[in-house]
Amino acid sequence: MNTSESIVRDRLCEALREREEEIADQWVRLQLEQAVSTDMSEHEIREEADLLISALAAGLAGDVPVERLVTSRNELRQTVIELSLRRARAGATPTATSMAVLSLKEALLSAVQHTARDSAELYSAAILVNRLLDAAGVLSFETYVEGREEIIQRQSRQLLEVSTPVVRLWRHVLAVPLIGTLDTARTQVVMESLLQAIQDNEAQVAIIDITGVPAVDTAVAQHLMHTVNAVRLMGADCVISGIRPPIAQTIAQLGIDLSTILTRATLADALAAAIRLTEQPDVGQGAGTARPVTA
């Protein structure tokens, strides 16, 4: 760090120490005027302002170069990250979040005007503030995007879990009614939910109902086979119901072998078969092939 930059940093630190309340107030007002935080209360914005200004002052007091200050100083980095994540959860846009951070420039420069010795020093302070808060704005944008992705993925998984409920139909009999496309992600959720339910309910038979699945191709059939195999490893039998004529034709044309799996046309037929299976003394035992059931 050269002497000139050191002096400018000292001026900024001085402004942050002596005019902390003024800077925070102005930054809050700017955000409210620009409507960059419409989903947050003024009190919440003020709390963020106090935390970020304090972290900036602590960071500038050190000797870390301005370009690396936001990413190198843990307190400052965490403050920016938490600010961005909080706004992501509140539903603010990434642009609004970045603009909220960048609007601090005006408040900082207004305060520096009172401590700068001349116009050259004020100009140098403006450049330093831009470099510092531009880095903070970029970090907030990146964090926002990552945070929203995490939220979207969590919500998607929750929707998958809601759309694939495991229902207890009878003593030791469970059913999973599937509606819509069965892809890899959904298969994983179905498998996890079903296996856990089998353990919790000591189930002997699991019915996978595909009445609501619009079409069965090779990929869907493979997903079903994986689920059936996992159920068998838990010591339970598996019945697939909802085999409509078009699906039966498609499976036959594709050459998909479901001969080792007990299938039924309707859920009612599958439940009747499952009840008979649970009455057999050897249910849940054996290598996993479907045992004959009297129609």
- Taking CB atoms within 8 Å and a gap of at least 24, the contacts of 94-97 are 94/141, 94/144, 94/145, 94/148, 96/36, 96/37, 97/36, 97/140, 97/141, 97/144
Angle at 204 between CA 271 and CA 288, to 5 degrees: 100
- CA nearest neighbour of 102 among 54, 57, 135: 135
Give residue 94's pLDDT band: very low, low, confident or very high (50, 70, 90).
confident
Q: Would you say residue 289 has pLDDT above 60?
A: no
Task: Give the whole-angstrom CA distance, residue 160 versus residue 147.
Answer: 20
Each residue's pLDDT tens digit, 173-212 = 999 888 877 777 777 888 888 899 999 999 999 999 988 8
State yes or no: pLDDT of 151 exceeds 80.
no
Backbone angles phi, psi at 91, to 5 degrees: 90, 10
pLDDT at 206: 93
Give pLDDT, residue 2: 56
pLDDT at 148 over 60: yes
* More confident position, 234 or 222: 234
Locus of tokens 């004529």: 245
Average pLDDT value over all residues in the chain: 80
Q: How far is it, in rounded angstroms, from Cα 168 to Cα 160?
A: 19
Report the share of the chain in percent with pLDDT over 70. Answer: 85
**Start-to-end CA span in the chain (Å):** 86
Q: Provide DSSP, 256-277.
A: ---TTSEEESSHHHHHHHHHHH
Estimate to the nearest angstrom the gap between the alpha carbon of 9 and the chain centroid: 39
Entry pTM: 0.49
Average confidence (pLDDT) over 138-148: 78
pLDDT of 252 > 80? The answer is yes
CA 13 to CA 19: how far, in whole Å?
Answer: 10
Residues 33-84: pLDDT tens digits? 876 545 677 888 888 888 888 888 888 887 787 778 888 888 888 888 888 8
| Residues 11-40, mean pLDDT to the nearest whole number | 79
Q: Residue 207's pLDDT is what?
A: 93
Query: DSSP letter at 211?
Result: E
Q: Which residue has the higher pLDDT, 62 or 231?
A: 231
* Res. 278: pLDDT tops 80: yes
Percentage with pLDDT > 90 across the chain:
10
List, for residues 201-228, the tens digit of each pLDDT value: 999 999 999 888 887 778 878 888 888 8
At 84 the pLDDT is 84
